[in-house]
Amino acid sequence: RRKQIVQECERLMDKPENIRNIAIAAHIDHGKTTLTDNLLAGAGMISSDLAGEQLAMDTEEDEQERGITIDAANVSMTHEYQDTNHLINLIDTPGHVDFGGDVTRAMRAVDGALVVVDAVEGTMPQTETVVRQALREGVKPALFINKVDRLINELQEGPEEMQERLQSVIGDVNELIRGMAEDKYENEGWKVSVQDGTVAFGSALYNWATSLPQMQETGIDFGDIIDYNRNDNIDELRENSPLSNVVLDMVAEHFPNPEKSQPERIPTVWRGDDSTDLAESMRLVDDEGEVVFMVTSISIDPHAGEIATGRLFSGTIERGQDLYVSGTAGQNRVQSVGLFMGGEREEVDRIPAGNIAAVTGLHDAIAGSTVSSVEMTPFESIEHISEPVITKSVEAQTMDDLPKLIQTLQQVSKEDPTIRVEINEDTGEHLISGQGELHLEVITQRIERNQGIPVTTGEPIVVFREAVQQASETVEGQSPNRHNRFYITVEPLSEDIVETLQLGEASMDMPELERREALQEAGMDKDTSQEVEEIHGTNILIDETKGIQHLNETMELVVEGWEEALDDGPLAAEPVQGTLIRLHDARLHEDAIHRGPAQVIPAVRQAVHGALINGRISMLEPIQNVRIDVPSEHMGPASGEIQGRRGRVDDMYQEGDLMVVEGVAPVEEMIGFASDLRSATEGRASWNTENAGFQVMADNLQPETIREIRERKGMKLELPAGVDYF
Ligand code: GDP
């Protein structure tokens, strides 16, 4: 039977009009896993006895234990709709916002997002985050409202109350869609509606669902559904209105196939020259064109090694091809190609354009790589909605395990580019940085459990930033031999420009004209935008000098000194962000031998640090939005857990039978929050956090923080000269 299904998938892979590439966007616990399992079971891909137990999507052991989905795992299934068989490729997205980078990547590879919302809880912060990510990537939404059985059985709602509640969920989701994609909402049917058939509802647990088209076909209305549920007649409802049919019909009917979507999406996700044959073959989903494959995730298979999964936009991918990997020098040879059937990888001979493929042999690829048969402009740099905010050290308990630990850490950072791995050269420790305490905990547990390497970990350390608060005066930097001088000012960049840089909408990889336009659009004046010499993180170097002899040949060193100065800010050697730096003037020695790296780099560094201090550089700390759901009798202690952490409670309101507390707190203070909240509320509270960027620390906290970091890093303890403004 499995063989037959594989053959059918292979047949369908060549018919782009029958393919749907989709993702599920949901808040944790709203039922994504249960839904996926029952879709797979309904489509005959896994046995229905196993659905629910098998947890096809949660393949990693730690995910099953924790009940959260961490890596984007992938499944393919077939579904017959209007007498035509369809191939549905489902890319999994993680359910915890600590893993936001994976979500964005998954959304790049799909054309439709099935938004799953718990009917009782309604839309939650993570529903919003994930839906925003989908819309930002140009992915069309449809809505499945889950756990409707609870409205009937637990809340004893009648047809009117139920409809009201469903309408309110639909309204919330539409508000999000309109906010992010107004044009498509108004004009292209992106508004989700019962009438259009872009909303379905039901119970993933009891395996039934309905929608307006389904009600019209079967004559089963709300009243009947309530009767089936109350009279213990679920089996019959399941037979008449099976979940997988209703949901997959909606997918087949309303999500665009690759031929329809690629012409629209290629210009949004790819910045290369749209007049080339390559661009044309991507828009046309041409299986005879050059291979263009965007890797969305890397997983490690104990036998096959690294498996790169992603979307094939053009060409046909086959074993033995030598393909370029963006950001690396050489080529990798494809060892095998396959698809994920019910979560298991099945090798096939070839995969044509428009599909999701699982490829082995691409050793140099990381999540986000562009892999292609010709050298090409890569897909946009993958947007990282949140940068790492927390670091901890990891050491193998026995020296023998060290090589294995290093290899595992390299793999981990390939699988999840939101994780960074570094070696502290002074102590030899390995440092891993990620999105939150839980994120790092999951990674270290994976090293211990899956790789069997006992490790010792350090205390989690928060990553800070440094940023200037005002424009500086001109500051001179002098080389050690006193023959070279640089004159520099700094000023803060506007929030709009910083965001443009963060989103990769202006970068040095893009054509100059496009970059200028993007910066001007974000508010930079025309002259400045024409003098951009380099971009580093969220900082920009402007060269305002005119006709200085030898500066051209020295510029590379100037940039190097500038980058060094920004990587290790003057206060506590934390990264500098959001700064515009202008080089106004320079004096250079005639003779190249007297203006080498040992002269220029320290001079530029001195000038930049001096100017940053003159512009009142300050420490910024990462903050998180926090939401707690808690029974009202525990509300006081719960909100106290936010307030007691230098936090602020912004809102408290009732939702269903629970109180919701919303606030903000510094990441540093949130360490240990989970266990403190549990004891403060007898374990009755559930909570979420979401990284909310960086904020300037209060002046009175700055000296202490700077001293602590300097001490930890083994730097001199006193504040640098000129920092007397706190
Ligand atoms: P995920 O975190 O989004 O993958 O959610 P799961 O599929 O793991 O579901 C979370 C919990 O909700 C589990 O205990 C499920 O059994 C339960 N659940 C899922 N769907 C339904 C449903 O339709 N009705 C009810 N009553 N419970 C459900």
- Per-residue model confidence as pLDDT tens digits over 201-224: 999 999 999 999 999 999 999 899
Q: How far apart are CA 694 and CA 463, in angstroms?
A: 10
**CA distance readout (Å), 118 to 42, 147, 160:** 21, 6, 18
Question: Atom 24 in ligand 1: which residue has the minimum CA distance?
Answer: 147
CA max distance for the chain: 94
Span 273-277, average pLDDT: 92
Is this complex scored with an ipTM above 0.90? yes
For residues 431 and 423, is the Cβ–Cβ distance under 8 A? yes
184 labelled binding-site residue? no
148 labelled binding-site residue? yes
Closest CA to 166 of 229, 227, 222, 240: 222
For residues 626 and 688, is the Cβ–Cβ distance under 8 A? yes
DSSP-assigned states of every residue in 143-169: EEEE-HHHHHHTS---HHHHHHHHHHH
Closest CA to 355 of 302, 287, 299: 287
Span 310-323, average pLDDT: 96
H or E element, residue 720: none
Give the model's pLDDT for residue 270. Answer: 86
pLDDT, tens digit (0-9, with 9 covering 90-100), for 674-684: 889 989 988 78
Q: How far apart are CA 528 and CA 648, in angstroms?
A: 39
pLDDT, tens digit (0-9, with 9 covering 90-100), for 620-651: 999 988 888 888 999 999 999 999 999 999 99
Span 352-379, average pLDDT: 91
What's the gap in Å between 29 CA and the centre of ligand 1? 6
Alpha-helical regions (H) of 233-345: 234-240, 243-254, 258-269, 277-283
392 labelled binding-site residue? no
Q: Point out the ligand 1 atom lying closest to the alpha carbon of residue 68.
A: 2
H or E element, residue 31: none
Size (the chain), residues: 726
For residues 601 and 560, is the Cβ–Cβ distance under 8 A? yes
Question: Atom 6 in ligand 1: which residue has the minimum CA distance?
Answer: 31
Give the model's pLDDT for residue 275. Answer: 93
**CA distance readout (Å), 605 to 478, 594, 676:** 9, 17, 44
Both tokens of 686, joined, read 């559930």
pLDDT, tens digit (0-9, with 9 covering 90-100), for 42-70: 877 664 444 444 444 444 444 443 333 33
- In whole angstroms, what separates CA 718 from the centre of its chain? 39
pLDDT, tens digit (0-9, with 9 covering 90-100), for 447-481: 887 778 899 999 899 999 999 999 999 999 999 99
- Residue 292 pLDDT exceeds 70: yes
Least reliable range by pLDDT among 157-161, 321-325, 341-345: 341-345
Question: Atom 25 in ligand 1: which residue has the minimum CA distance?
Answer: 147
Provide the 8-state DSSP code for 473: P
Least reliable range by pLDDT among 123-127, 549-553, 587-591: 123-127
149 labelled binding-site residue? yes
Q: 122: which residues sit within 8 A by CB, 6+ positions away?
A: 168, 169, 172, 655
Span 480-504, average pLDDT: 93
Give the model's pLDDT for residue 63. Answer: 41
Both tokens of 696, joined, read 């300037």
For residues 708 and 653, is the Cβ–Cβ distance under 8 A? no
Work out the angle between the directed axes of helices 243-254 and 32-42 (0-180°, nearest 10): 90
What's the gap in Å between 77 CA and the centre of ligand 1? 21
What's the gap in Å between 30 CA and the centre of ligand 1? 6
Mean pLDDT of the chain: 88
| Residue 707 backbone dihedrals phi, psi, to 5 degrees | -60, -45
Which residues contact ligand 1 via a Cβ below 6 A?
A: 26, 28-34, 67, 69, 95, 146-147, 149-150, 203-205
pLDDT, tens digit (0-9, with 9 covering 90-100), for 343-362: 678 899 999 999 999 999 99
- Residue 636 neighbours by CB distance under 10 Å: 12
Q: What is the dihedral of CA 561, 564, 565, 570, to 10 degrees?
A: -150
Both tokens of 184, joined, read 């498509």
What's the gap in Å between 31 CA and the centre of ligand 1? 4
Q: Point out the ligand 1 atom lying closest to the alpha carbon of residue 154.
A: 26
96 labelled binding-site residue? yes
Closest CA to 142 of 197, 179, 187: 197
Q: What is the pTM of this model?
A: 0.67
Q: How far apart are CA 368 and CA 105, in angstroms?
A: 7
584 labelled binding-site residue? no
Q: Which residue has the higher pLDDT, 301 or 293?
A: 293
